């Protein structure tokens, strides 16, 4: 990528990721990029949990526990699939918005700032030669998972950023017709 505009216009998710994952130095670069997200009020509403190595198995066990809390009769196949979710990449970064409700900055803006931090990490990962995919799903709202990360009722898991080496060629970005989503005033 030659510049930010090119990087943004070429951005795609990498659904299949393998080893190697980011080095410690690259992880720190991703996190430094994350915390450069716009942050009205300088609240630093984000918290990141970097999960790698055996930590991915522990996260998988947490996901299975969350599944069983919601569906005690889940099939063995569904349990195995859920438990293996964090193994889809060498690293998963859990992005959490720890919001401050007593501040003039709206909670929604604090959550969005955390989302922008995830986008910064995803773009930085690609620039460093990795692929990434931002996932949410049931685990982001599960009370079992939320409790594990000690979230307050207003806090949000904004996403799980899976990072690793992309498998195969990146699919081309799908262009969107701007007329379908843009309105000009003036």
Dist CA 45 CA 108 (whole Å): 11
Interior CA angle at 98 toward 93 and 103, to 5°? Answer: 150
**pLDDT tens digit sequence for 106-146:** 999 999 999 999 999 999 999 999 999 999 999 999 999 99
pLDDT at 4: 86
Residue 78, H or E segment? helix 76-83
Going from the C-alpha of 93 to that of each of 120, 131, 183, 186, the distances in angstroms are: 13, 13, 35, 42
What's the mean pLDDT in 40-67? 97
Which residue in 93, 117, 100, 124 sits closest to 43, CA to CA?
100
Query: pTM here?
Result: 0.94
Dist CA 110 CA 43 (whole Å): 8
Sign of CA dihedral 111, 181, 123, 83: positive
Judged by average pLDDT, the poorest of 12-26, 61-75, 167-181 is 167-181
For the chain, give the percent of residues with pLDDT over 90: 87
């Amino acid at each position: 990528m030659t510049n930010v505009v090119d990087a943004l216009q070429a951005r795609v998710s990498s659904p299949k990721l393998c080893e190697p994952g980011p080095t410690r130095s690259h992880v720190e670069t991703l996190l430094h990029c994350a915390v450069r997200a716009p942050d009205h009020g300088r609240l630093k509403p984000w918290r990141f949990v970097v999960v790698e190595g055996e930590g991915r198995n522990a996260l998988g066990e947490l996901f299975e526990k969350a599944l069983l809390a919601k569906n005690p009769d889940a099939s063995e196949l569904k349990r195995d699939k859920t438990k293996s979710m964090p193994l889809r990449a060498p690293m998963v970064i859990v992005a959490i918005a720890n919001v401050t409700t007593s501040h003039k900055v709206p909670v929604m803006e604090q959550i969005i700032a955390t989302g922008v931090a995830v986008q910064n990490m995803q773009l930085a990962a690609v620039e460093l030669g990795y692929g990434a995919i931002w996932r949410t799903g049931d685990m982001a709202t599960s009370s079992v998972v939320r409790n594990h990360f000690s979230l307050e009722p207003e806090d949000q898991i904004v996403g799980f950023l899976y990072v690793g080496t992309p498998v195969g060629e990146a699919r081309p970005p799908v262009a969107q017709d701007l007329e379908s989503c843009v309105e000009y005033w003036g």
